[in-house]
Amino acid sequence: MPAAVRLRVAEVAAAVIVISLFLPWVVEDGQTLRGIQVGQGQLVVLTAVATIVLIRLRKRLSWFAAGFSAAVLWRQLFDGADGFRSLGPLLGALAATVAVVFLVWNLLAEIRENAER
């Protein structure tokens, strides 16, 4: 798979992370909160946008930003009883995991290309 395709898939996955923040995340006192209304969700929005920018700039550090988003989202999913009933953290965690996999794959492919020269 070409590097451009790997990076594009990772970029789309990071965009899905941002979209997942507009879905329901938690229920507090009978009120459903969206991801952007939760402190952790706001942090994930910033890191997901940073991930997209880093991918566009072709920086290898983008996998680290995507990994941070994945860690926060998986923690949100497993934290508490409402985690598995919320679609937002589940979709975001899966998208962040896909982004991390493709970015690390691209990182290793670039290292391998440079080693062969």
Q: Under a CB-based contact definition with an 8 Å cutoff, are residues 70 and 95 in contact?
A: no
115 in a structural domain: no
41 in a structural domain: yes
Instruction: Rank 12-16, 41-45, 87-91 by mean pLDDT and report only the highest.
Output: 12-16
3-state helix, strand, coil in the chain (%, to 5): 75, 10, 15
86 in a structural domain: yes
Q: In total, how many domains does the chain have?
A: 1
Q: What is the pLDDT of residue 88?
A: 85
51 in a structural domain: yes
Q: Under a CB-based contact definition with an 8 Å cutoff, are residues 5 and 102 in contact?
A: no
Residues of the domain holding 41:
3-110
Beta-bridge partners for 28:
31
102 in a structural domain: yes
Q: What is the pLDDT of residue 7?
A: 92
32 in a structural domain: yes
- Reported confidence tier of residue 34, pLDDT bands at 50, 70, 90: confident
54 in a structural domain: yes
Q: Is 94's pLDDT higher than 60?
A: yes
Q: Is 83's pLDDT higher than 60?
A: no
